[in-house]
Amino acid sequence: MPKKTKSTPSFATEAEERTFWEEQDSTDYVDWAKAERVRMPNLKPSSASISLRLPVSLLERIKIAANKRDMPYQSLIKAWLTEKVDTRP
């Protein structure tokens, strides 16, 4: 016999909803056996702009390295940062 799920409460704020789901087991509210995979091809990850001061000589070296890889220098910086963060214990 299928498990009866609880109805999801309504929330006043996103923070309230986040707190709720941090404390609850989603299987009480969602029948995951009926879940279907979806694709969201236009979904873009959120990002934030930052200001970073670099020595001009370092920025020029980064731009040269990016040019050799045929990619924008900002993308190369992001790739390097991601690589460095992901290899840390």
Residue 19 forms part of a structural domain: yes
With H, G, I as helix, E, B as strand and everything else as coil, classify residue 41: coil
Contacts of 65 (CB under 8 A, 6+ apart): 73, 76
Record the tokens describing residue 34, joined without a space. Answer: 């009926």
State which residues of the chain have pLDDT below 50. Answer: none
Residue 44 forms part of a structural domain: no
- Count of domains observed in the chain: 2
Residue 71 forms part of a structural domain: yes
- The pLDDT assigned to 54 comes to 96
- The pLDDT assigned to 73 comes to 97
Residue 41 forms part of a structural domain: no
For 2-11, write each residue's pLDDT tens digit. 678 889 999 9
- The pLDDT assigned to 40 comes to 87
Residue 72 forms part of a structural domain: yes
Domain encompassing residue 79: 56-86
Residue 82 forms part of a structural domain: yes
**Rounded Cα distance, 79 and 89, in Å:** 18
Residue 42 forms part of a structural domain: no
- The pLDDT assigned to 89 comes to 66
